[in-house]
Amino acid sequence: MFQAIKHQKIYQQVVERIQNMLLEGSLEKGDRLPSERELSEKFGVSRSSVREALRALEIIGIVESRQGGGNYIRSVFDYQVFEPLSVMFKLNKGSFHDILEYRKIFEPEIAAIAAKRITPENAVLLADLASQLKASKDEKNSTRIDMEIHKKIVDISGNYMLKTTMTAASVIMESFIQEARDLIFQWQENREELLNIHCRICDAIIKGDSDKASELTQTHFKIIIDNI
């Protein structure tokens, strides 16, 4: 399982080896890693290289260090895992329009899939979010519910690949969503139009109307693009 690394040069090799072991299934969530000394011997690298690799894996959210208990593959992967992607996006001058294009491509289809796979339990949860958005008078709270609705729709789709990529994108999107809403809501009619379209998307998904859900989601992005 742990094979020696032939070229003892940089800690990235150790990082890549551990990542590959996760992908292959020889390491799984919650597994305790061998000690630094053991990893050094198994990989054929210095303990300092192992230490650097473990630190890098901890920063990107794959490994967690427990005081007095060693290093473990995380059991729960949260937004911390996706933060490096957010940094890369910003460093490479990613724009709000890049995000809009990404969402316009994927979210109409995600809404259509969600409409086909909606369960009674998820229908209740989605309807509740739509009601919360209607009742909200605070813009910060409305932004939060807006994001929750989109996350819930992805979750309902049941497609883990879509959920993973959209979760990664949501880390980047969060800083732009408020900006978009501020621009759109310079006029009250835009606020009402965006509120209405969110509620109609939720209603279409709840009713299992995949074509309507997709069409309304496309309209949603047209409203955003037309007003920014």
pLDDT tens-place string over residues 67-109: 878 999 988 765 566 666 666 777 777 777 888 888 899 999 9
Decide: 45 and 9 in contact? Cβ < 8 Å: no
> 25: which residues sit within 8 A by CB, 6+ positions away?
none
**Where do runs of H (alpha helix) occur along the chain?**
12-24, 36-43, 47-59, 83-91, 96-117, 120-135, 139-157, 160-184, 188-206, 210-227
* 149 SS3 class: helix
Domain architecture of the chain: domains with CATH: 12-77 (1.10.10.10), 82-227 (1.20.120.530)
C-alpha neighbours within 13 Å on the C-beta side of residue 168? 15
Across the chain, what does the average pLDDT equal?
84
pTM: 0.68
